[in-house]
Amino acid sequence: MQLIKDVKETLWTKSFIMLMVGNLFVFMSFQMLIPTLPPYIKSIGATGLEIGLVTALFSIGAVLSRPFIGFMLEYRARKQLVLIGAAALLAITVIYPLSSVVMIFLLFRFIHGLAWGWSTTVNGTAAVDVVPNSRLGEGMGYYGLSVTIGMIIAPSLGIYLYQITSFTNLIYISSVLGLIAIGLLSIVRYETPEAVLKTRKEDLKFSYLGSLIEKSSWFPAFITIIVTFGYGSIVTFIVIFGEERGIDQIFLFYLFNAIMASLSRPIAGKWFDQRGPKGLVLVCTFLTFIGMWVLSFAHSNLFIIISGILFGIGFGLSGLVFGVLAQFVETAALFQISSVFLILGMAVTVLYGRRRSAARPQQAS
């Protein structure tokens, strides 16, 4: 009798490793700029509203580009799209210091958002194509580490470099990381699906608004926006807040935030599988709410660390709004005001859960 052994398809191919590491350097190059651009634009004369636009315009650009690139992925080969995205990110990074005019800087930020939406969409799709179908969950889990590790290292590194050297030198370092990313991504052997290669653009129908808006996903989208309103104020103003309070180790917030987010993911995943999303959303939103208030009262590195831990566990397009408020209140008060959105998110979660529970008996009858 012949023994039949299950042979796993190879996951750790050269292409998968290069794609994962290349994506890590893309995230490193990008993430180290997130906390440092707001204080830089403030230093060249930006108002509170304009500082808020640093985050808002980027987010708008990232959202607007995704439906279009999603359509292109239905009929275009992967390699060219991946390299265009990485090259665009590098180009916009390099030109940041070339303008001391706030409005031109904000235009660069919007274009950066377009490129980021492009790059992250095509890189993720390319990873799905490279990973064997039988190991897709495992492979994408490992691929996600390139995002997580980038989030752990880069923001803290960016803040540290911004504090000890010039913004221009920070851009140089970010650009070098971007160049490494392009080099790694260029040697990947991409696996474009046969169906995509056979598809012609003329055979496809594309509705931009239809791709942008999905009615059935309103609840998770709304909760995400609400929670992001709380977090967005921190992304935009935390370095400025550290300067106001004289806290020189503000990067510790990002460091502990990312570490705890990584450690809590397996627990959150099991909770979701066993009990569903409602309780998880409530607990995480509450922890994030507490984290915002801890941060608002921070005058030492210890409070920064505690806040980062709470956010990391709890959080796992508010810059514009809070940019307006920043002209009238202290930065700490911004964090307290933005925490109200988290309470709103918890309330909507409870009401939505009750509505669905009430609808089930009617459906059963």
User: pLDDT digits over 268-285, tens only?
Assistant: 666 766 776 667 777 777
Residue among 164, 62, 159 nearest 115 (CA): 62
User: pLDDT digits over 45-54, tens only?
Assistant: 998 888 888 8
Contact, 261 vs 151, CB < 8 A?
Answer: yes
C-alpha to C-alpha distances, 341 to 73, 105, 229, nearest whole angstrom: 35, 29, 7
pLDDT at 324 over 60: no
Question: Over pLDDT 70: what percentage of the chain?
Answer: 78
CA-CA distance, 19 to 50, in Å (whole number)?
A: 36
Tell me what the mean pLDDT of segment 297-326 comes to: 72
CA-CA distance, 1 to 250, in Å (whole number)?
A: 66
Highest mean pLDDT of the ranges 17-31, 295-309, 336-350: 17-31
Task: Tell me the Ramachandran region of residue 337: left when phi exceeds 0, alpha when psi lies from -120 to 50, beta otherwise.
Answer: alpha
Residue among 24, 96, 20 nearest 58 (CA): 96
Higher-confidence residue of 146 and 103: namely 103
State the pLDDT at residue 169. Answer: 94
Question: Over pLDDT 90: what percentage of the chain?
Answer: 31
Higher-confidence residue of 223 and 103: namely 103
Residue 208: phi, psi to the nearest 5? Answer: -60, -50
pLDDT band at 263, cuts 50/70/90? confident
What secondary structure does DSSP assign to 100-161, as a single string? --HHHHHHHHHHHHHHHHHHHHHHHHHHHHHS-GGGHHHHHHHHHHHHHHHHHHHHHHHHHH
Contacting residues for 26 by C-beta, under 8 A, at least 6 apart: 86, 89, 119, 123, 150, 178, 181, 185
User: pLDDT digits over 149-204, tens only?
Assistant: 887 788 888 988 988 999 999 999 999 999 999 999 999 999 989 888 888 888 88
pLDDT at 91 over 90: yes
Residue 174, Cβ density class (10 Å: 0-12 exposed, 13-18 middle, ≥19 buried): buried
Highest mean pLDDT of the ranges 71-85, 148-162, 334-348: 71-85
User: pLDDT digits over 133-145, tens only?
Assistant: 888 777 887 887 7
pLDDT at 2 over 50: no
Tell me what the mean pLDDT of segment 91-97 comes to: 93
pLDDT at 4 over 60: no
